[in-house]
Structure 1
Amino acid sequence: MTADADARIARLLHHRKAGLALGEPVVPPISVATTFHLPEAQGAAHYYGRSGQPTWDAVEAQLSILEAAETVAFPSGMAAITAALVCSLKAGAKVMLPADGYYVTRLLGRDLLQVYGVEVARVPTAQMEVEDFTGFDVIYIETPSNPGLDTVGIATLARKAHAAGALLIADNTTMTPLLQRPLDLGADLVVAADTKAPAGHSDALFGHVAGRDPNLMARIREWRRQSGSVPGPFEAYLVHRGLETLEVRLTRMCASATVIAGRLAAHPKVRGLRYPGLPGDPSHRSVGGQMANGGFLIGFELADEAAAEAFLARCPLIEQATSFGGVHTAAERRSRWGDAVAEGFIRLSVGVEPVETLWSTIEAALAA
């Protein structure tokens, strides 16, 4: 982590201190109130639970410190993605989505945006830098892509998008603002599923949108109020707690992923390994520049569907789950969701288990 990242983490941990009165709790209370004392209509910090409440305030303050930008919380990553796209587009607009990105975002483009008159173009992440952006209103990127882990130059795309009169929206779920900072590189909005590494314990759905244009962020906040796409107070509390250990968890997860990726790359049963942290990977160009390191996700192939499923079933320290970024190492065969990958392709999310113990079970499962 850089000195700037260290400073943000320290501020995040103590962000409530200046406002605490004698005897107040250091940990933010869970406020379940939907109504607030309102003898006058103006001047209240909160007035109705759909518009804002104290537990959201606490986690949004943390996320704003991490992003160095205004942040609006949502009940899931897809709710955040929907808000960012809906508030940036209208009928007749044109948006570019990654053809190899998260499959639910692709479904959103097909089943919502196109239905309401938005033209959707789907382009593989690795080809976006050479695409013509003329006529587009929004360029939406996911870097590294999920699950293929291809990357694209955020600063390059931001310059191209702005020259064409388009906004650049970046899904930063796989990296978090500690490992990659799209807003600093020129993106107009960042979206993320805080369900993943920020919350970190696979027990809370959450998401956020961050941006530095006050008018655009006002539209995002108003969309949340009007649509009712609001997070719960208990989920906000869990994410607040998870963010306090994000840096510690990420440090271990990324270090372990580097070790495991190197060993998988050398294993005779593994093919097509993708991990940006390895020098030979096509996405390694982004590491040390826009990405702090290679992250905690690894992609690789086994011989076929049967081999992949047998490996996952045999490994006692791999949870067979369809998410990532948690403290438990988790993996799944991604073609079962329709991703354009080989039948034996596995997305592996490295957790916080001791790395040698984790590797010994992976190695044994591969050998069986």
Structure 2
Amino acid sequence: MTHHADHELAQDTIVVASGRPPREHDAPVNPPIVLSSTFHEAVDPAVGDRIYGRMSNPTWDPFEEALGQLEGAALPALVFSSGLGAAAAALSLVPTGGVVVMPRHAYAGSLSLADDEAARGRFALVRVDVADTDQVLATLDTADLLWLESPTNPMLEVADLRTLIAAAKAAGVTVVVDNTFNTPLVCKPLDFGADVVLHSVTKYLAGHSDVVLGALATSDAAVRTDLLKHRTLHGAIAGPFEVWLALRGLRTLALRVERSQANALYLADKLAQHPALTRVRFPGLATDPGHQRAADQLNGFGSIISIELADVAAGEALVAAVRLWLPATSLGGVESLIERRRRQPGEPATVPEALVRLSVGIENPEDLWADLEQALAPLRPGGDSTR
């Protein structure tokens, strides 16, 4: 993508303008889908000619270019067949016998993967409360890799990313940041000094709950080479059609994030006053423990709200009673989703049983609130819970 050298494009322009084909007569404005498993004989395989679909596909390139640019990476990102495939590649950076420091709360798939690798003896695993900066700092002397997620899934704890990343880098510790909840429009961890940024592209980047993809971004050429080697050898490659859909979804990322964040803030304010709830977790609330930290380092507060009810029965009743919200797992799509998280077998035991996670979409906020309000009404103290 070309633009005037004296004018830096804004993020909401980059999502639209990046990854476009060259401006040539009769050329398409959108990159085409290339459906081929193999390519014409390479002149020199050593220089990176495509050769075979497990190594490269022209449809990946525009998306990888766009995401790398959005994250502020010096290199194109790498797309994977799933977020967990990307997580596996990121964990491959840990030397055998090394030490991984990971949040006690994070994406359940990443936690389960790390637990499995640790159980096999690949590395030692240390769990921390990422909101407790001193606790994390105390682990860095022996760590090889620090895995961060902020806000965490689903507890929405906020880490001091600047302090933790700077300390890790000073100690020679590789830093991986899962940026799925934030997107690069809300946070760019590479700017803080992180080595690798991870995304479940399935979520906000693609944005329509119709693909399963992951991605990693880095500015370190040697690290990218290692990650690319892992993708090629382990085969966690993305289908061209899915990546094309993800790039199409990326075009509206700025609009979707702006709307869903505004909706989330509106709903969180309403929910915080509701008597049926015992706690509302959302960094955008001034009363939230992570509010000031999030305000200092993020460009927004995200679109995920976690609420806690009196007990499991109340949580299940809420999910069963909504009509506009969709009772389903995952997050980051245009539609609003609701789920009691501990129904998932991989969720940490420290997540409250009655915690319900809301992924706020882009519907009319009044409609979203009306649906929640009618579902919560019988759960008020003294309410009619028999309906």
TM-score by length of 2: 0.90
User: Does the 8 Å contact 1:73/1:208 carry over to 2?
Assistant: yes
C-alpha displacement at 1:318, in angstroms?
1.0
Matches within 5 A, 1:2-13: 7-13=10-16
Code of the residue aligned with 2:235 in structure 1: it is G
C-alpha displacement at 1:349, in angstroms?
0.5
* Aligned counterpart in structure 1 of residue 72 of structure 2, from 68, 71, 83: 68
Which residue does the alignment assign to 1:59?
Answer: 63
Counterpart-to-counterpart distance in 2, 1:44 and 1:38:
12
Counterpart-to-counterpart distance in 2, 1:199 and 1:18:
20
* Aligned counterpart in structure 1 of residue 263 of structure 2, from 245, 250, 256: 256
* Runs of at least 4 residues off by over 4 Å: 42-45
Q: In the TM superposition, what whole-angstrom CA distance separates every residue of 1:155-186 from its partner, at most 9, and x where no partner exists? A: 10112112222111111111011101111011
User: Does the 8 Å contact 1:271/1:302 carry over to 2?
Assistant: yes
Counterpart-to-counterpart distance in 2, 1:220 and 1:243:
23
* Aligned counterpart in structure 1 of residue 83 of structure 2, from 65, 77, 91: 77
RMSD over equivalenced CA pairs, Å: 1.7
Matches within 5 A, 1:80-159: 80-86=86-92, 88-131=93-136, 132=138, 133-159=140-166
* Aligned counterpart in structure 2 of residue 27 of structure 1, from 12, 25, 30: 30
**Percent of paired sites with the same residue:** 38
Code of the residue aligned with 2:362 in structure 1: it is V
Code of the residue aligned with 1:286 in structure 2: it is R
- Structure 1 position 175 matched with structure 2 position 182: yes
C-alpha displacement at 1:347, in angstroms?
0.6
Does the C-alpha gap of structure 1 residues 9 and 46 become closer, same or farther in structure 2, counting only changes over 3 Å? Answer: farther
User: Does the 8 Å contact 1:299/1:347 carry over to 2?
Assistant: yes
C-alpha displacement at 1:311, in angstroms?
1.0
Matches within 5 A, 1:1-368: 7-17=10-20, 19-38=22-41, 40-42=43-45, 45-69=49-73, 70=75, 71-86=77-92, 88-131=93-136, 132=138, 133-337=140-344, 338-339=347-348, 340-368=350-378
Code of the residue aligned with 1:120 in structure 2: it is L
Counterpart-to-counterpart distance in 1, 2:335 and 2:9:
25
Point out where structure 1 has 5 or more consecutive residues left out of the alignment.
Answer: none
User: Does the 8 Å contact 2:341/2:357 carry over to 1?
Assistant: yes
User: Does the 8 Å contact 1:157/1:168 carry over to 2?
Assistant: no
Counterpart-to-counterpart distance in 2, 1:128 and 1:207:
28
Code of the residue aligned with 1:95 in structure 2: it is V
